[in-house]
Amino acid sequence: MSSHDDWVRFVSIPVAAVAVAGQVQAAQYLTVQQAQKLMFGKSATFQRNDLVLDSKAMRAIREASGVRVERSKQPLWEVREGDQLNGYFIVDEVYGKHEYITYAVALGPDGRVRQIEILVYRESYGYEIRNPAWRAQFIGKKHGDPVTLDEDIKNISGATMSCRHISEGVKRLLATYEEMLHPG
């Protein structure tokens, strides 16, 4: 009967796993290169060709998607298999009240979503996430920096994280494709 009372320990500790300027629970899942390989295969070639959005494009994307466009530069790679265009690899970021997520979207050459992978997830309960300077400290750390973001990550049960912000981000990216890349 021992399993009946010693299976749970009641504690009161922050869920933060690492201390990066405030309470942060963070997980690095994939680097950009890993995600590219996983989503398009080893023989694909990637040419970085970031989209630069002027204010007119930003407005059009916002109107088409109903989602605010905050950045004028969208990291994007054209993906080729031999000399055939095989799609696009886009890295994007979204943040909610407590979570800040970097994710990658694979689009087919027709602009359809093929796959979504989370690259880095961070959550924090201060005011930090609303603060661009706070978010800026992570820039560069998604390219496989030896930052120990993925050490000692806790598995957490409890409040369900909504993926609403990712859904909105993908909607915005599809509108971006239509505005900037869709032929004709």
Partner 1 sequence: MRKCYTRVRRARPLLGTLVEISLAGQAERELHEAANAAFAEIARIHELMSVHSMESDVYRMNNAPVGRAVLVDERTWQVLDLAAEISHASNGVFDVTVGAAMMARGDLPRMVNNLPGGNATYRNIELLSEFRVRLQCAMAIDLGGIAKGYAVDSAVRVLREGGVPEGCVNAGGDLRAFGDEALTVQVRDPLDPAIACAEVDLCDCALATSAGYASSKGYNTSGVVLDPRANTEVGTGCSASVRAASCAVADALAKCALILGEKSAPLLRRFQANGFLVHDKMPIVIDTVPVDARAGPAARDGITQVDVGFANRQSDIMFGKCTGALL
Cβ proximity to partner 1: between 60 and 100 the closer is 100
Cβ proximity to partner 1: between 88 and 103 the closer is 103
Q: Under a CB-based contact definition with an 8 Å cutoff, are residues 176 and 74 in contact?
A: yes
Q: How far is CA 172 from CA 41, 43, 50, 153, 168, in A?
A: 26, 29, 16, 30, 6
Give the span between the Cα atoms of 24 and 15, in whole angstroms. Answer: 8
Q: How far is the CB of 75 from partner 1 (least distance, A)?
A: 19
| Interface residues toward partner 1, by CB under 8 A | 1, 3-5, 7-16, 23, 27-30, 38, 96-98, 103, 116-118, 121, 125, 150, 153-164, 166-167
- For residue 148, what are its two tokens? 């120990």
Q: How far is the CB of 88 from partner 1 (least distance, A)?
A: 18
Q: How far is the CB of 26 from partner 1 (least distance, A)?
A: 12
